[in-house]
Amino acid sequence: MQLSFSFLATVGFGIIINIPRKGLIPCGLVGTLGWAVYLLVKDYGHSMVLANLLAAFVIGISAMFCARMMKMPMILFNIPSLVPLVPGGQSYNAVRSFAFGMNDQALDYLVQAGMIAGAIAVGFFLAEFVSQVYFKVISAKK
Protein backbone atom coordinates (compact mmCIF):
# COMPACT_ATOMS: atom_id res chain seq x y z
CA MET A 1 0.00 0.00 0.00
CA GLN A 2 2.78 2.43 0.93
CA LEU A 3 4.68 1.68 -2.27
CA SER A 4 1.65 2.48 -4.43
CA PHE A 5 1.08 5.75 -2.60
CA SER A 6 4.75 6.68 -2.94
CA PHE A 7 4.41 6.04 -6.68
CA LEU A 8 1.32 8.24 -6.82
CA ALA A 9 2.95 10.99 -4.76
CA THR A 10 6.01 11.00 -6.99
CA VAL A 11 4.01 11.02 -10.22
CA GLY A 12 1.63 13.63 -8.83
CA PHE A 13 4.47 15.95 -7.93
CA GLY A 14 6.00 15.26 -11.34
CA ILE A 15 2.76 16.42 -12.95
CA ILE A 16 2.74 19.56 -10.79
CA ILE A 17 6.25 20.54 -11.86
CA ASN A 18 5.54 19.68 -15.53
CA ILE A 19 7.77 16.69 -16.15
CA PRO A 20 7.32 15.44 -19.73
CA ARG A 21 4.82 12.59 -20.02
CA LYS A 22 7.37 10.03 -21.11
CA GLY A 23 9.30 10.58 -17.87
CA LEU A 24 6.43 10.25 -15.39
CA ILE A 25 6.35 6.46 -15.08
CA PRO A 26 10.15 6.06 -14.71
CA CYS A 27 10.09 8.94 -12.23
CA GLY A 28 7.38 7.16 -10.23
CA LEU A 29 9.39 3.95 -10.26
CA VAL A 30 12.48 5.76 -8.98
CA GLY A 31 10.44 7.28 -6.15
CA THR A 32 8.92 3.90 -5.31
CA LEU A 33 12.34 2.26 -5.28
CA GLY A 34 13.64 4.94 -2.94
CA TRP A 35 10.68 4.51 -0.60
CA ALA A 36 11.10 0.72 -0.66
CA VAL A 37 14.73 1.10 0.43
CA TYR A 38 13.64 3.51 3.16
CA LEU A 39 11.05 1.04 4.45
CA LEU A 40 13.45 -1.91 4.34
CA VAL A 41 16.21 -0.11 6.22
CA LYS A 42 13.81 1.33 8.78
CA ASP A 43 12.08 -2.04 9.30
CA TYR A 44 15.41 -3.68 10.11
CA GLY A 45 15.68 -1.38 13.11
CA HIS A 46 18.02 1.27 11.76
CA SER A 47 17.51 4.99 12.29
CA MET A 48 15.47 7.24 10.05
CA VAL A 49 18.65 9.12 9.20
CA LEU A 50 20.36 6.03 7.78
CA ALA A 51 17.16 5.01 6.00
CA ASN A 52 16.91 8.44 4.34
CA LEU A 53 20.60 8.43 3.43
CA LEU A 54 20.40 5.06 1.70
CA ALA A 55 17.08 5.88 0.04
CA ALA A 56 18.49 9.15 -1.32
CA PHE A 57 21.56 7.27 -2.55
CA VAL A 58 19.39 4.74 -4.39
CA ILE A 59 17.23 7.52 -5.82
CA GLY A 60 20.35 9.35 -7.03
CA ILE A 61 21.82 6.27 -8.71
CA SER A 62 18.56 5.12 -10.30
CA ALA A 63 17.72 8.68 -11.41
CA MET A 64 21.09 8.88 -13.10
CA PHE A 65 20.44 5.65 -15.04
CA CYS A 66 16.90 6.73 -15.95
CA ALA A 67 18.18 10.10 -17.13
CA ARG A 68 20.70 8.42 -19.40
CA MET A 69 18.17 5.93 -20.73
CA MET A 70 15.46 8.53 -21.33
CA LYS A 71 17.93 11.24 -22.46
CA MET A 72 16.45 13.72 -19.99
CA PRO A 73 17.99 15.81 -17.20
CA MET A 74 18.61 13.93 -13.98
CA ILE A 75 16.89 16.57 -11.86
CA LEU A 76 13.55 15.61 -13.44
CA PHE A 77 13.85 12.25 -11.68
CA ASN A 78 15.57 13.40 -8.47
CA ILE A 79 13.20 16.11 -7.27
CA PRO A 80 9.83 14.32 -7.50
CA SER A 81 11.34 11.09 -6.15
CA LEU A 82 12.51 12.97 -3.11
CA VAL A 83 8.98 14.01 -2.10
CA PRO A 84 8.15 10.89 -0.02
CA LEU A 85 11.38 11.32 1.97
CA VAL A 86 10.93 14.99 2.93
CA PRO A 87 10.78 15.34 6.74
CA GLY A 88 7.50 17.24 6.75
CA GLY A 89 6.13 15.46 9.79
CA GLN A 90 9.10 16.39 11.95
CA SER A 91 8.99 19.99 10.72
CA TYR A 92 5.27 20.25 11.45
CA ASN A 93 5.74 18.78 14.94
CA ALA A 94 8.60 21.19 15.62
CA VAL A 95 6.50 24.23 14.73
CA ARG A 96 3.52 22.84 16.64
CA SER A 97 5.64 22.20 19.73
CA PHE A 98 7.10 25.71 19.55
CA ALA A 99 3.57 27.12 19.29
CA PHE A 100 2.46 25.25 22.40
CA GLY A 101 5.54 26.25 24.37
CA MET A 102 7.19 22.80 24.46
CA ASN A 103 10.59 24.10 23.42
CA ASP A 104 12.62 21.01 24.36
CA GLN A 105 10.41 18.72 22.31
CA ALA A 106 10.40 21.26 19.47
CA LEU A 107 14.19 21.30 19.39
CA ASP A 108 14.24 17.50 19.25
CA TYR A 109 11.95 17.54 16.22
CA LEU A 110 13.97 20.34 14.64
CA VAL A 111 17.21 18.40 15.05
CA GLN A 112 15.57 15.29 13.56
CA ALA A 113 14.34 17.27 10.55
CA GLY A 114 17.79 18.81 10.05
CA MET A 115 19.54 15.45 10.31
CA ILE A 116 17.13 13.85 7.84
CA ALA A 117 17.56 16.74 5.38
CA GLY A 118 21.33 16.46 5.75
CA ALA A 119 21.20 12.71 5.21
CA ILE A 120 19.22 13.21 2.00
CA ALA A 121 21.77 15.76 0.77
CA VAL A 122 24.69 13.45 1.61
CA GLY A 123 22.91 10.54 -0.11
CA PHE A 124 22.57 12.57 -3.31
CA PHE A 125 26.18 13.69 -3.04
CA LEU A 126 27.40 10.09 -2.65
CA ALA A 127 25.28 8.97 -5.59
CA GLU A 128 26.74 11.70 -7.78
CA PHE A 129 30.26 10.83 -6.63
CA VAL A 130 29.80 7.11 -7.30
CA SER A 131 28.30 7.77 -10.73
CA GLN A 132 31.16 10.11 -11.69
CA VAL A 133 33.73 7.51 -10.63
CA TYR A 134 31.82 4.75 -12.42
CA PHE A 135 31.66 6.62 -15.72
CA LYS A 136 35.32 7.65 -15.51
CA VAL A 137 36.29 4.01 -15.04
CA ILE A 138 34.04 2.94 -17.93
CA SER A 139 35.44 5.64 -20.22
CA ALA A 140 39.01 4.73 -19.22
CA LYS A 141 38.45 1.11 -20.28
CA LYS A 142 37.39 2.13 -23.79
* Cα–Cα distance, 56 to 120 (Å, whole number): 5
DSSP 43-63: HTT--HHHHHHHHHHHHHHHH
**What does the mean pLDDT of the chain come to?**
94
Confidence grade of residue 137 (pLDDT, cut at 50, 70, 90):
confident
CA distances 41 to 20, 35, 108, 114, 135, Å, are 32, 10, 22, 19, 28
Sign of the torsion angle spanned by Cα atoms 67, 39, 14, 86: negative
Q: Are 84 and 14 spatial neighbours (Cβ–Cβ below 8 Å)?
A: no
pLDDT per position as a tens digit, 36-94: 999 999 999 889 999 999 999 999 999 999 999 999 999 999 999 999 999 999 999 99
* Cα–Cα distance, 37 to 76 (Å, whole number): 20
pTM, two decimals, is 0.91
pLDDT per position as a tens digit, 82-105: 999 999 999 999 999 999 999 999
